[in-house]
Amino acid sequence: MDFGIKGRKAIVCASSRGLGYGCALALAREGVEVVLNGRDETRLAQAADEIAKATGSKIIPVAADVAKPEGQKALFAACPEPDILVNNNAGPPMRDFRELTREQILEGVTANMVVAIELIQKAIDPMIAKKFGRIVNITSGTVKMPLAGLDLSSGARAGLTAFLAGVARSVASSNVTINFLLPGTFETDRLRSNIEGNAKKQNISFDQARANRIATVPAKRFGTADEFGAACAFLCSAQAGYLTGQNILIDGGVFPAAF
């Protein structure tokens, strides 16, 4: 299927690795010019080269921390009027809520709620003027199924979801959509780090901890960045203009609900 977005321009945050990389790659395969973002300049340059060679699309690497004003400025200097914005940012580490300081709570809310809102504020009016815009926010499956220890991440991302629910409806008539992708367990560096931590706590091997985690997934495997990216690319497509304000859970069947 031709997604009808060839020649469009996208900013994909935190896209030098993991799920953000998968989204950037999928968009580039559709002929989208992508601003690739990360804080590790070496990894960012490598990722940009990989995607450019694999797709032939123009890839613009921007080394920046999206949580900082100067980082956001750098992204929009590279792409002043994106047609597509994919919000993505690492969540705070697993921690008992009793241990959280006020500063850590504010940092978590800023990283996983405020930053996405700030980026949308910068991108949305040109999208409205052009009568085309696609905004995808990568949040987490814990928005629907909270996990103890990830309370700050879940709370901040749920706050973003509620904040943007009304915004999505207010811009839908301009062919600007705002949707959410909620990943479950995907093969990423972050998942590997979490499994390593659990293995140490339980005094078991990494392989055993990994097998235990896979056993909790009805699909009996972890997701891949490629299939996550494909879902993102569809949400950014011309065909997805009637789909907005939705939370799409991609978790291999973990969340036990019919609706």
The answer on 167 and 44 residing in a single domain is yes
In CATH, what number is assigned to the domain containing residue 117?
3.40.50.720
Domain count, the chain: 2
Q: Who's near 65: CB < 8 A, 6+ residues apart?
A: 39, 71
φ, ψ of residue 182 in degrees (nearest 5): -110, 95
Q: Who's near 155: CB < 8 A, 6+ residues apart?
A: 108, 109
Q: Which tens digit of pLDDT belongs to each residue from 183-239?
A: 999 999 888 988 998 899 899 999 999 999 999 999 999 999 999 999 999 999 999
**Structural domain boundaries enclosing 215:** 185-222
Q: Which tens digit of pLDDT belongs to each residue from 32-68?
A: 999 999 999 999 999 999 999 999 999 999 999 999 9
Q: Which tens digit of pLDDT belongs to each residue from 97-155?
A: 999 999 999 999 999 999 999 999 999 999 999 999 999 999 999 999 998 889 999 99
Q: Taking the model in full, what pTM does it have?
A: 0.95
**End-to-end CA gap in the chain:** 28
- Three-state DSSP at 176 gives strand
pLDDT in the model for residue 49: 98
The answer on 156 and 56 residing in a single domain is yes
Q: Which tens digit of pLDDT belongs to each residue from 72-91?
A: 999 999 999 999 999 999 88
Length of the chain: 259
Q: Radius of gyration over alpha carbons of the chain, in Å? A: 18
The answer to whether position 255 is within a domain reads no
Q: From CA 68, how far away is CA 193, in angstroms rounded?
A: 25
The answer on 40 and 109 residing in a single domain is yes
The answer on 195 and 81 residing in a single domain is no
The answer to whether position 156 is within a domain reads yes
The single-letter DSSP state of residue 242 is T
The answer to whether position 88 is within a domain reads yes
The answer on 132 and 42 residing in a single domain is yes
Q: From CA 169, how far away is CA 156, in angstroms rounded?
A: 21
The answer on 239 and 216 residing in a single domain is no
Q: Which tens digit of pLDDT belongs to each residue from 14-34?
A: 999 999 999 999 999 999 999
The single-letter DSSP state of residue 252 is T
Q: From CA 174, how far away is CA 92, in angstroms rounded?
A: 35
